[in-house]
Structure 1
Amino acid sequence: MEVLVFKTNLRFKAQINAVTPHINNLQGISRWNVDLDDSDKILRIESVDLCPRSVEDTLQRAGYFCEELH
C-alpha cells in the first residue's frame, strides 16, 4: 500500500462530488480524500500500483488542476 499526495484546485464539496466518479473509476484505490482546509487542497490516495500520472490526467480531463507532490 502506498499513499500518493497531490496538490489540486478543488475548493468546494460540489467539486469533490463532481470528480468522485472519475477517481472511483481508477483501479487500485482503497481510500482517498481531499483536505479543503489545506492551502494546497491536498488529495491523498491510498492505493496499490497506481500511476500518479493517471490521477493527474483523470482530474485534468474532469477540468481540474492536479499535480503530484514529491
Structure 2
Amino acid sequence: MEVLVFKTNLRFKKHINAVTPHINNLQGIARWNVDLDDTDKILRIESIDLSPRSVEATLQQAGYFCEELQ
C-alpha cells in the first residue's frame, strides 16, 4: 500500500462531492480524503499500484487542479 499526496484547488464540500465519482472510478484505491483545513487542500490517496498522473488527469477532467507533492 502506498500513500499519494496532492495539492488541489478543492475548497468546499461541494467540490469534493463533484470529484467523488471520478476518484471512486479509479482502480486500486483503498481509501482517500481531502483536508480542507490545510492551505494546500491536500488530497491523500491510499492505493495499490495507482499512477499519480492518472489522479491528476482524472481531477483535471472533472474541472479541478491537482499536483502531486513529493
Task: Name the TM tier (shorter chain).
Answer: over 0.9
Q: How does 1:1-70 map to 2 (within 5 A)?
A: 1-70=1-70
Q: Which letter does structure 2 place at the counterpart of 1:29?
A: I
Distance in structure 1 (CA, Å) of the matches to 2:32 and 2:66? 14
Q: Secondary structure at the match of 2:53?
A: helix
Q: Which letter does structure 2 place at the counterpart of 1:23?
A: I
CA apart distance, 1:64: 0.3
Distance in structure 2 (CA, Å) of the matches to 1:3 and 1:56? 15
What is the TM-score of this pair, normalised by structure 2?
A: 1.00
Distance in structure 1 (CA, Å) of the matches to 2:15 and 2:41? 12
CA apart distance, 1:44: 0.0
Distance in structure 2 (CA, Å) of the matches to 1:62 and 1:24? 12
Unaligned runs of 5+ in 2: none
Identity level (%): 87
Question: For each residue in 1:10-43, what CA deviation from the matched residue of structure 2 results, as whole angstroms up to 9, or x when unmatched?
Answer: 0000000000000000000000000000000000
Unaligned runs of 5+ in 1: none
Q: Which letter does structure 1 place at the counterpart of 2:13?
A: K
What is the TM-score of this pair, normalised by structure 1?
A: 1.00
How many residue pairs are counted as aligned between the two chains?
70
Q: Which letter does structure 1 place at the counterpart of 2:61?
A: R
